[in-house]
Structure 1
Amino acid sequence: MKVKEVMSKELIVTYVPGTVRDALKTLAKHDVPGVPVLKVGTREVVGVVTRNDIFKKPEEDQLALVMNSDPYVISPDDEVNKAAKLFYEKKIHILPVVDEKRNLVGTLSPTDLLKLLVEKEDKVEDYMSKSCVPVYQETPLPIVMEIISITNENALPVLDDRLKLAGIV
């Protein structure tokens, strides 16, 4: 199956020049962990920015200094297996889908690929990560941000005083 058959054609993006604040607003508004960064006035992909990128440089305001300026990208004609391998091996959660001129034509996320598995009767445990880094609910946010940055995880389970799941950050 080709990437173009499962990619999202709804383009959620941010632009450079731009600010980290603008990127955060986009991430929050659409509840996504990362977005392609386009050169203003074009559809040319010049980077990707994720929450983790922002957590790694919380004092920086300029998006160009925070974003990954050499992101992995994929072609609409590539096989979804190639995308799945990139997601797994590179621990990324957004793939810009680009044409031969590196113009954005769509995006692909692990969730898009999970939709292909819905018809199967596989168990969640066959696909879940076996390791995770929990944090205590009273942990200061700057420390949680540092843990996310070090572990390269996009979400951490939050435990309460009884070691019960209280939420996810």
Structure 2
Amino acid sequence: MVKSYQNQLLEPEVATYPLVQDFMNRAFVTLQADDDIFHAMGVLLQNEVSGAPVVDKAGKLVGMLSEKDCLQVITQEAYHHGPAGGPVSQYMTPKPIFVRSYTGLLNVAELFVNNSYRKVPVLDEKENLVGTVRRRDVLKVIHEHEQKKNQSFNK
């Protein structure tokens, strides 16, 4: 699970960073757990995304499917002589780490530093999938924050 730093005192500069809800992707691709893996690969490629949240019939998060997960399909067939294909649920990462919409930017940055994830799902208090956050999104916000800080300093 994601570490929480809600009870720590924040330095003034840290407090100026936004929350996930301020920069998360609200338009995102999802996959169904029972989708065929080759269909899912096509969805990822067509939408030019490196991975997507996997949801059940009720729309609740049950996993994440990444490009890396998809590569298991061909290696399973080639090296293990298993059948290629099957449902997304067979290849996805189940019970993925997620963040809440009220998680701070630095907490998400730390999550990405300490894990190999490129993207994490965002859930609200009712466990509804409301967005995704990519490493690139965090980097962009930090870069914009530093540019604003430097502009203020140079005035």
The TM-score, its normalising length taken from structure 1, stands at 0.66
Alignment partner of 1:52 out of 32, 53, 68: 68
**Is 2:24 the counterpart of 1:7?**
yes
Structure 1 residue ranges (4+ consecutive) displaced by more than 6 angstroms after TM superposition: none
Amino acid at match of 2:112: F
Contact 1:37 1:45 in 2 (8 A): yes
State the identity %: 25
Corresponding position of 1:74: 99
The answer as to whether partners of 1:13 and 1:26 remain within 8 angstroms in 2 is: no
Cα offsets for 1:50-76 (capped at 9, x unmatched): 010111233232111100112110000
Are 1:94 and 1:110, in contact at CA under 8 Å, matched by a contact in 2? yes
Q: Compare CA radii of gyration and give the structure with the larger one.
A: 2
Shift of 1:113: 1.0
Contact 1:14 1:22 in 2 (8 A): no
Q: CA deviation at 1:112?
A: 1.0
Matched residues in 1 for 2:72 and 2:125: separation? 31
Q: Which residue in the other structure is 2:8 paired with?
A: none
1:104 is aligned to 129
- Give distance in 1, aligned partners of 2:59 and 2:121: 11
Report the TM-score, using the length of structure 2 for normalisation. Answer: 0.72
Tell me: higher relative CO, structure 1 or 2? Use CA pairs within 8 A at least 6 residues apart.
2
CA positional deviation for 1:29: 1.2
Identify the structure with the greater helix proportion. 2
Can you give the 5+ residue segments of structure 1 that lack an aligned partner in the other structure?
Answer: 122-169
Tell me by how many angstroms 1:18 deviates: 1.1
Matched residues in 2 for 1:118 and 1:46: separation?
32
Name the CA distance, whole Å, in 2 between partners of 1:87 and 1:19. Answer: 29
Q: Which amino acid is 1:12 matched to?
A: V
Partner SS, residue 94 of structure 2: coil
Where does residue 153 of structure 2 map in the other structure?
Answer: none
Opposite residue 119 of structure 2, the aligned amino acid is: I
Partner of residue 113, structure 1: 138
- Supply the AA of the counterpart residue of 2:63: G
Report if the CA contact (8 A) 1:33-1:51 is conserved. yes
